[in-house]
Amino acid sequence: MTQHLQVVEHPLVRHKLSIMREAGTSTAVFRQLLREISQLLAYEVTRDLPMTTRRIETPICPMDAPVLAGRKLALISILRAGNGLLDGMLDLIPSARVGFVGLYRDEATLTPVEYYFKVPGDLDGRVVIAVDPMLATGNSSVAAIDRLKEAGATDIRFLCLLAAPEGVARMKDAHPDVRIVTAALDERLDEKGYIVPGLGDAGDRMFGTK
């Protein structure tokens, strides 16, 4: 569980992802599958959460029951496509706090520029899960995690749907402490920075834009 990259190879995840990849899949079906798959990925990314016990009374007897330890989780959506992963994750972790990081690419310098940053307080005491469906070049994801660390986060995981080897290497180089959980590791990036074979532009597919 301590490896840098975890590919979730569950049959349900793989099956749903294949339908999402198909160019002919409608926006409505894509969205529904995204919600379902993010529930399954949320299950995996939280597998090692710290636990404690609480004394409770069952109808039969008292017991020390296992419960989550520590502060509420923070889910951080990297805008805009990260929002597509939030609903499914909140189905499973309804009390999580939610934050947003907005970045755009400066076409002159090709570096990410922040236009929005709003995150829960006390990030240093929380497990932080940053979400973005596509880990492509890794530039925006690395920049978002830089900002989360500046804001105090110390325990960060990164959840995505598809990762390219280039993005995984970039993240490992910049943030070796951040575990990546993904539904698939694809082959490469094309010359425009799209993941191959990928699923196209995740934001356009989930929001029906373009």
Only segment of 43-51, 103-111, 152-160, 195-203 that touches ligand URA (CB under 6 A): 195-203
Among 78, 119, 134, 161, interactor with ligand URA by CB under 6 A: 134
- Supply the residues annotated as catalytic: 105, 109, 201, 204
Vertex 124 angle, CA 7 and 155, to 5°: 15
By the rule CB under 6 A, 20 interacts with ligand URA: no
Q: Report the nearest approach of ligand URA to the CB of residue 66 (Å).
A: 38
DSSP label of 42: H
Nearer to ligand URA, 17 or 202 (CB): 202
Annotated binding site for 5-phospho-alpha-D-ribose 1-diphosphate: 80, 105, 132-140, 201
Choose which of 136, 180, 181, 206 interacts with ligand URA (CB under 6 A): 136
Which CB, 68 or 185, lies closer to ligand URA?
A: 185
**Residue among 125 and 203 whose Cβ is closer to ligand URA:** 203
**The binder of ligand URA chosen from 75, 151, 195, 206 (CB under 6 A):** 195
Q: Give whichever of 67 and 196 is closer to ligand URA, judged by the CB atom.
A: 196
Binding letters toward ligand URA, positions 174-193, x by CB under 6 A: -------------------x
CA 114/CA 134 separation, integer angstroms? 18
**What is the spatial distance between Cα 135 and Cα 48, in angstroms, rounded to a whole number?**
22
Q: Per rule CB under 6 A, is residue 142 in the interface with ligand URA? A: no
CA–CA gap between residue 53 and residue 67 (Å, rounded): 5
Phi, psi angle pair for 150, to nearest 5°: -60, -35
**Residue closer to ligand URA (CB basis): 101 or 195:** 195
User: What DSSP letter does each residue of 134-194 carry, written as one string?
Assistant: EESS-HHHHHHHHHHHHTT--EEEEEEEEE-HHHHHHHHHH-TTPEEEEEEE-SEE-TTS-
Q: Quick count: other Cβ atoms within 10 Å of Cβ 100?
A: 18
Compute the distance between CA of residue 84 and CA of residue 150 in angstroms, rounded to an integer. 25
Find out whether 8 and 182 touch, Cβ atoms under 8 Å: yes
Site string for ligand URA, 75-114 (x = CB under 6 A): ------x---------------------------------
Q: Which two tokens stand for residue 199?
A: 């699923």
Contact residues: ligand URA, CB under 6 A: 81, 134, 136, 193-195, 198, 201-203
